[in-house]
Amino acid sequence: MNDTIRSIATIMSDLDGILIFPHISMDGDALGSSTALCLALRSLGKKAYVMVNEPVPKNLDFLELGCTTEDDSVLDDVQLSLMLDCNGLNRIPGREEAWARGRLKGCIDHHATTSKDIRFDFQRIEPKSAATAEIIYRLIKDLRAEVTLDIANCIFTAITTDTGNFQHTNTTNRSHEIVGHLYKVAGFNSKAISALIYDRRTQGALKMEGYVLSRLHFYADGKLAVGQVSQDILDEYGCTMDETDSIIQRIMSIDGVEGGCLLKQKGDITRVSLRGRSYINMARVAAGFGGGGHFLASGCTIDADLDTAEKTIVPVLISELKR
């Protein structure tokens, strides 16, 4: 059962000491939604932090804004632990203890794959929202907090990244409408923010991307494309894993590709990014490996090296293509 945004605003108005939890491998929506809400709560005189256990990605450094912390004991009294852009403990690994500190537990998300490991005191899950930030923007309005320039930048980043710059099928009238409102915030400059997000790549990152793209494996008459990113390749070009995020979009730009899969070495295991063009159910594929996500964009982890992971997931992807 979904709670209304208004009722969530009413509950939160009476609370102080709020820890916000974005999902692991935070992206523009997870961090942007979290920071936007954190700033709004602080503007209302409340103590709030975004609880993380990994560094903020380089291209999103302008969204940090003094909100993130890795310190479990940053607040004496946690009245609310709030999950954003995710809805299960498997999405906040390493932060379970901090999560448990909240006397109330809440969740605001747009992922349809829900986990049943937590009983939330309130929740709102809108699978039709392109970004969690579309819910957060309305919540900030209902909290009667001002949408400042910093908050506008957070919301814009969240929506532009989760919609693939307004190109994915999740983009709606409302995505544009909310962004339309952001243009009215004094100082808002979408070009400048887009340049911060998308146009700060290194020469090495482009070369690494070229290396990976020139070695794609194609299956099912070219309908499935699989790429591999090893730690060695990242090291050779002086890159970090968060610089591989754009590769999957490049894969999906190939004519005829219905399913894209990028395998990324993380120590002894492989992280998997999955994208679909129109009909392949990538949420189901990811769920089969203990991961999660959306119908056309999901992710999971396979406890194996890159080649073994590829041999494991390719048959699943091929059979999903045929369903």
| Binding residues for Mn ion (CB under 5 A) | 29, 85, 132, 162
Shortest Cβ 163–Mn ion spacing (Å) = 10
* Nearer of residues 72 and 242 to Mn ion, judged by Cβ: 242
Strand extents, DSSP E, the chain: 18-22, 48-51, 68-69, 80-84, 104-109, 122-125, 217-219, 224-229, 259-266, 269-276, 292-293, 297-302
Which residue number places its CB atom closest to Mn ion? Answer: 29
Shortest Cβ 248–Mn ion spacing (Å) = 15
Shortest Cβ 291–Mn ion spacing (Å) = 15
Shortest Cβ 33–Mn ion spacing (Å) = 7
* Nearer of residues 3 and 29 to Mn ion, judged by Cβ: 29
Number of residues assigned to the chain: 323
What is d(CA 208, CA 218) in angstroms, rounded to the nearest whole number? 19
Shortest Cβ 19–Mn ion spacing (Å) = 19
* Nearer of residues 85 and 209 to Mn ion, judged by Cβ: 85
Number of Cβ within 10 Å of residue 73's Cβ equals 9
Radius of gyration of the chain (CA): 19
What is d(CA 135, CA 82) in angstroms, rounded to the nearest whole number? 14
CA 209 to chain centre: 21
* Nearer of residues 198 and 218 to Mn ion, judged by Cβ: 198
* Nearer of residues 17 and 28 to Mn ion, judged by Cβ: 28
Shortest Cβ 132–Mn ion spacing (Å) = 5
Among residues 19, 31, 86, 18, which one has the least CA distance to residue 63? Answer: 31
Shortest Cβ 128–Mn ion spacing (Å) = 13
Cβ atoms of 45 and 67 closer than 8 Å: no
* Nearer of residues 85 and 320 to Mn ion, judged by Cβ: 85
Number of Cβ within 10 Å of residue 113's Cβ equals 20
Cβ atoms of 266 and 302 closer than 8 Å: no
What is d(CA 137, CA 140) in angstroms, rounded to the nearest whole number? 5
**H-run or E-run covering 96:** helix 96-100
* Nearer of residues 165 and 202 to Mn ion, judged by Cβ: 165
